[in-house]
Amino acid sequence: MSKKSTASAEKKPAPEAKPADFAQAPINARLSRDEKIELHRKMVRIRRFEERSLRAYQAKKIGGFLHLYIGQEAVAVGCCSLMGKHDHVITAYRDHGHAIAVGMDTKPLMAELYGKATGCSKGKGGSMHYFAPDKNFWGGHGIVGGQIPLGTGLAYALKYKGLKGAAMAFMGDGAVNQGAVHEAYNLASLWNLPVVFVIENNGYSMGTSQARSSAGQLAQRAAGYDMEWGQCNGHDVYEVRATMDHFLAKARDQQRPSTVEIDTYRYRGHSVADPDNTYRSKQEIEEYRKTKDPIQVFQNKLVAEGVLDEALIEKIDAEARAEADAAADFSEISPYPTPADIQTDVYWESDNPAERKSQGRLFFE
């Protein structure tokens, strides 16, 4: 991959001496059999959801952009599996994986893609704008890097309210060059905010490789803000969990922010509209798929551990496919929002007229 060709892409040693096998890291060693199966199941569910949404997109059921998470599943699943009651997540527009990882139901997720009233944002947000505040998931944001100050604000609110928790603010490798990200880094470190900035480095900011877009190693920039940083492989869910556990604990217990770069890969284009043949080769994709596919890697480990067998693998996969189909069927028969719905959910006050305190016109013709 092109990002490996950068001179500065050598790995910094992890903050703790890495155990030879991340499965033995305490956060993983204490996983029950069912919890391990659940990690695997979530990754499979994300992949089947994404594949099903791609088919719906190709069938012109879905408008706009569709940024698929296929190939990156272990990142969202690994990180979000560590969430406690007061931990929060925010991400950018490649948000389907995080939404499923935090526990959102796939029916309203798919219906949102279809633009239906039963969608998780009532058909008003679309693919890039999933939200579930009841699951501590704050989006789903369309502008590269724009969500990072918001994630820092979630951490600020936790600290202000005296709650022990952490915010995980996800971004892609393309976001690290945005000013808002650096402003957020500075504030988080200056004010000791409990936030972990997670760079999901899939090697390409749209069609521009890391080598052509970013000077130096991405996570290392955090050092300039006096922040601890780390890097790990994103194809091994055990490694993701072991690495993130360290930084989340630092945020929750010591109120110190950090930046973690997780190396991953997307099999599909930046969005489905991306022809994906101008900036990388088919061989590159195939190579990753063969050697580092996060689902296959974890599946192999769980088979070796005696947690999974062929029958269970088949069953989980069949259920995930059926769930994705059911989500598509649900979306298909769901109604669209009506033109009258265009002007709801704009203002709290107009949605709560009995409690409205202001007067005058909120909307104009």
Partner 1 sequence: MPLITYREAVRHALAEELERDANVVVMGEEVAQFNGAYKVTEGLLAKFGPQRIVDTPISEAGFIGMGIGASMLGVRPVMELMFWSFYSVAFDQILNNAANVRYMSGGQINCPIVIRGPANGGTNVGATHSHTPENVLANHPGVKVVVPSTAYDAKGLLKSSIRDNDPVFFLENTMLYGEKGEVPEGEYTIPLGLADVKREGKDLTIVTYGRSVHHSLAAAAILESEHKISAEVVDLRTIRPLDFDTVAKSVAKTHRVLIVEEQKPFASVGSQLAFMIQRECFDDLDGPIHRLATVDAPAIYSPPVEVEQLPNPQRVLKAALAAMA
Q: Given the rule CB under 8 A, which residues bind partner 1?
A: 88, 90, 119-125, 129, 131-134, 138-143, 146-154, 156-158, 160-161, 179-180, 183-184, 186-187, 190, 344-349, 351-352, 357-364
Whether 256 contacts 190, CB under 8 Å: no
> How far apart are the C-alpha atoms of 193 and 225, rounded to whole Å?
13
The crossing angle, in degrees rounded to 10, of helices 310-333 and 106-113 is 50
The crossing angle, in degrees rounded to 10, of helices 73-80 and 237-254 is 40
- Residue partners of 200: CB distance under 8 A and separation at least 6: 72, 75, 94, 170, 171, 172, 173, 234, 262, 264
> How far apart are the C-alpha atoms of 234 and 70, rounded to whole Å?
12
Q: Give least dist CB 341 to partner 1, A.
A: 10
Measured from the CB atom, is 150 or 312 closer to partner 1?
A: 150
Residue in this structure with the two tokens 């298909």, named with its chain if needed = 332
Q: How far is CA 300 from the centre of its chain?
A: 23
Reduced to 3 states (helix: H, G, I; strand: E, B; else coil), residue 231 is strand
Q: Give least dist CB 200 to partner 1, A.
A: 19
Residue in this structure with the two tokens 């069938």, named with its chain if needed = 59
Reduced to 3 states (helix: H, G, I; strand: E, B; else coil), residue 109 is helix
Measured from the CB atom, is 278 or 358 closer to partner 1?
A: 358
Measured from the CB atom, is 157 or 285 closer to partner 1?
A: 157
Q: Give least dist CB 62 to partner 1, A.
A: 17
Q: Give least dist CB 259 to partner 1, A.
A: 15
Measured from the CB atom, is 138 or 238 closer to partner 1?
A: 138
> How far apart are the C-alpha atoms of 172 and 152, rounded to whole Å?
16
Q: Give least dist CB 236 to partner 1, A.
A: 31
Q: Give least dist CB 245 to partner 1, A.
A: 23
Measured from the CB atom, is 145 or 269 closer to partner 1?
A: 145
Measured from the CB atom, is 310 or 363 closer to partner 1?
A: 363
Whether 166 contacts 252, CB under 8 Å: yes
Q: Give least dist CB 152 to partner 1, A.
A: 5
Measured from the CB atom, is 329 or 351 closer to partner 1?
A: 351
